[in-house]
Every structure is written in C-alpha cells, then in structure tokens.
Structure 1
Amino acid sequence: MATLIDKPIADICDIARLAGEAILEIYQRDFEVQTKSDQSPLTEADLAAHNVIVKGLQAATPDIPILSEEAADISWQVRQTWQTFWLVDPLDGTKEFIKKNGEFTVNIALIHNNKPVLGVVYAPVLDKLYFADENGSFLTENGATRRLKVEAPAVGETVKIVGSRSHPSPDLAEYLTRFENYEMVPVGSSLKFCMVAEGAAHIYPRLGPTMNWDTGAGHCVAEQAGATVCQLDGSALLYNHQESLLNPYFEVK
C-alpha cells in the first residue's frame, strides 16, 4: 500500500479497534435510538465511532478524503473527482447492536479507482479483526493471526449460504432454487463477507439494498482471500462510480 498511503495497515487496524472500544462503552449501558430520514436506526455509538475514525484517518492520511455513512452528504460534483478515498461505516449492523447480539462491525476501506484496495472489519464484541490488502486477507483473534482462504464446496457437500439476519429478501427464495442441498446461515453486518473469506460459508448472495459503505471493507477481505465479488451479471462491484451510493445486487463466492 506504500504507493497509496504511507501508514501501514496496522495503523488502520488500531483506528478500528479504538472505534470498537468507543462502541462497547455505549453497548454496555443504556442508550437512545433515533431514526434517520431513511428510517434506519441511529445510536450515539454510530456517531462516537465515526468521530474516532475520522480523527484517526485525518491524522494518518490528511490528504485522503473520507466518505462515512454518518457524513455522507458530499455532492457528486466533489466525489467524482476522487481517485482515492476512505470509505467508512462506523457501526455496520446497528440493528444487531440494538438487539445486543454482537453481530456488528466497524468497517474501514480504502478505495482506489472505484475498487477496494485495503479493508479492515472489526467485530468488537467478538474481538475478531479482519484485514486485507495486496498482501492477502487475515484474521486476528485470541492473540493469533492467520491468513484467510475461501473454500469451495466439495461435490455433494451441503452448500453453506450466508444471508442477512435483519434484512431478509423475497428474491432470495428464487435464488435458492438453484441449489439441491444447502444450509442458510443468518448473520448480521459485513461478517457475511468475512465468513466466506475464512471458509465458514461458501456463498453470500445479496439480493436486497446495501450502500457503498456497507460493503467496501468486507469486499476487500473476501476478495483478497480468493473470493469473487461481482454483480449478478458477472460485472464488477464498483464504488463511487456514479452519483447514487446504492449498490446493485451482488454475489460473493
């Protein structure tokens, strides 16, 4: 990554961990839930993590712009000039945070030429840190770090398909008809990408709405572990390549 940022990926992992600490402080006590204009939930943890990440990234890479879910009101006129930028979801899986099931993450991705080239996904409750760049995809947990590699299902093996816990899609039922033998694994947040990356699931089809910041970091983690991340027609899943930040349907396998 030396060609794009001077800071090593370890520094970005540290920023994600700090954001996770800010989230956990709020997670362990009572908190209020607000509703944003798109009817999605917002908590003080989203904002606390956002502030930690923006402060850290601005200090580490002052010349690289930041697009965060909690500060996404940046005009297309400005964004379309960006060749390289940080893409951040400070708390991915706010519904899981509110349910207190632990399945939420901090997502930080570096996008270059509309593609993720660095990704960090941190699950604070699980204390699992996924990170990826051109050197590969890795997971740190229980004090140890290991390289991740996707695993294709063997002939006759039950296909493990990971899907959204809080956003079921009516299109998924039709998609599942192509499989003779499958098991659905419901999981929240960008952990779905990470499960494919570490071989805990085989396929993640997303047949429902997501935004750029929901997927950038997990996309990088899965791709650098050997997964293919693409739209349903096989074309690339791109970032900030148009005015809308809404992703098309996609598939990770």
Structure 2
Amino acid sequence: MVTLDTDWTVNLEKIAAIARSVGWGAADILRSYYHSQKNPENLELEGTKKDGPVTAADLATNHYILEKLQASFGVQNFGYLSEETHQGTDPVPFPWVWIIDPLDGTRDFIDKTGEYAIHIALTYQGRPVVAIVAVPEAEKLYFAIKDKGTCVETLQGEVAPIRVSERNNIEDLSLVVSRTHRDERFQKLIDRLPIKGRNYVGSVGCKIATILEQHSDIYISLSGKSAPKDWDFAAPELILTEAGGKFTHFNGDPLTYNKGDVRQWGGLLASNGLCHEMLCQKAIELLEQIDAEG
C-alpha cells in the first residue's frame, strides 16, 4: 500500500509508475473488447447516460481501474471520482482525488474510429499532479508528473520525453476538434479563427495527443447546453502543460477539479502555449461579435 510521507513529491514517481501499469492494463481490456470477433460491432450497450452511451467495455475498464488503484492506495487518504460511478453534487472529501475516465470517446469506440482513450489523473486540492492518457489503438501511453515533464511510452516499453510544437504564428497553427458535438455558436467561432487548418479527431485525450505529437496546436472547448466534465480534462491538461503547452479558461483562469459540479462550463483553450493569450483574446472578441449578431 502506497502512503504519503511528509515529502509527498518523492512519492509521485512511485504513484506514476503504478498508474502507468494500471493504464496499460486498462488499455488491454479495451482493446480486447474493441477487437472482439464475438461482438465485432462493439454494441454491448449497458445503457445510456445523459451525455451518451455506456458499453460493457466502459464498465469493465472502470471496475479494473478502481480495483487496482484502491488496492494500491486504499480509501483512507485518497478519494475517487470516476465517470461511471459519480453521483451527487458534493466534492469528494479528500485533498487527494483520483479522477478517472475509463473510456473517453465511447461513441468513437462504438463507431470504430479507433480514437478512444483512457484518462487517469491524481489531483491534489483540485489540481492535477500525476496524469496518464493511454491511447490503445496507437499503442501509446502518455504520462506526466507535476514539474517533471511529459513522456510517451510505447507498447514495447520504450519511453521518451515529448514536447509540443514551436509554431508561434497564429496563421500557421492547426486546430483539433470533434467530428460532431459542435453547436452553431461554436461552429461560427472556429470558422472565424485565422488559423491554417483543422484536424477532426475523437476523444479529448486523443485530441491533446495530436498537440503533443505536433500534428495540431490548438484545442477549444465551448460549453452549450451541456459541458465537458472533470474526467474529460484532468489528465489531458497535465500531459499538455508538462509538455510545454497551456490549458486555461478564455480569461486565463486555471481549471479546477472536484468542486462538486463536475461540469467545466464556459470557454477553454488548450494550445502549444506560444500564442495562447492572443488566441484566448481572439476567441473572446469573436464570441462577442457572434453573440451581437444574434
């Protein structure tokens, strides 16, 4: 059982190593469902949440992650906030909270795009300090420790540091967005951004991975009738920022997690960091224009 000593930062390396192992195990489970010959369409739906479908793969992976983390860390000093088990509106009553999305991109998983991911983040007082984003179909796992940088690990066990691009002109940047989940207001916003190109990718984790891999430079979230949740962003945020990027609200405020309301409302922007403030200001100005037009 891992415990926290007075210098808890020393333990983050140990904690990250365990989380990486759990991430790879979860990736194996999802890949077994995804490539199942018995159920080639992966339509083992177990129900539908307000925000989308739930498959047997979601539930099996969630059970595995919680079981492994609780076996290693217990429930005395750590709390657990998971997409599949979250209930109520109160914060998890621990300073240390694991925030988990066992299958980010369930619709992409069902539709066989391959663009699904696993998010596991450890937060301390509402901010991420350890993060895992596993992308099973790419056979890669990205992991980050606060102030220690981001690395990518392959299925063969090769580990290397990874950094975002150094593109620093807005006109040279590419935006990564979903194929769906765009209302009219958001579509107008991204259409008016003076950027080079757009990449269409499922799963927030997969989108942020394209920024780490230097295929994209910007990701924008703009809530409408609904909003992304803590488990969508906690792990992707840290792997991006520790790789040199930035991830904030449009007004520059940092994201906070485990507030009770798990929804992340408003406009948020993730980038390679070099034009971040200008992009945020541009997004605010464009939204003001769009809203004025009615």
Same-fold call, TM > 0.5? Answer: yes
Report whether the alignment pairs 1:166 with 2:180.
Answer: yes
Q: How far off its partner does 1:211 sit?
A: 0.6
Show the 5 A alignment for 1:89-238.
89-134=101-146, 135-141=148-154, 143=156, 144-155=158-169, 158-176=172-190, 179-189=193-203, 190-208=205-223, 209-238=227-256
Report the count of equivalent residues. 250
Aligned to 2:23: 16
Alignment identity in percent?
A: 27
Moved more, 117-126 or 139-148: 139-148
Structure with bigger gyration radius = 2
Report whether the alignment pairs 1:3 with 2:8.
Answer: yes
Residue type at the aligned position of 1:3: W
Residue 193 of structure 1 aligns to a residue whose secondary structure is helix
Compared with structure 1, are the counterparts of its residues 17 and 233 closer, same or farther at alpha carbon in structure 2 (3 Å cutoff)? same
CA contact (8 A) 1:169 1:207 kept: no
* CA distance in 2: counterparts of 1:177 and 1:98, whole angstroms: 28
* Residue in structure 2 matching 1:32, options 17, 28, 44: 44
Listed as ranges, the gaps of 5+ residues in structure 1 are: none
Root-mean-square deviation (CA, aligned residues, Å) is 2.1
Q: What is the TM-score of this pair, normalised by structure 1?
A: 0.91
* CA distance in 1: counterparts of 2:230 and 2:124, whole angstroms: 14
Moved more, 85-94 or 29-38: 29-38
Listed as ranges, the gaps of 5+ residues in structure 2 are: 272-294
Question: Which structure shows the bigger proportion of residues in helix conformation?
Answer: 2
Q: How far off its partner does 1:207 sit?
A: 1.5
Q: How far off its partner does 1:17 sit?
A: 1.0
Q: How far off its partner does 1:72 sit?
A: 0.3
Aligned to 1:245: 262
Q: How far off its partner does 1:171 sit?
A: 2.9
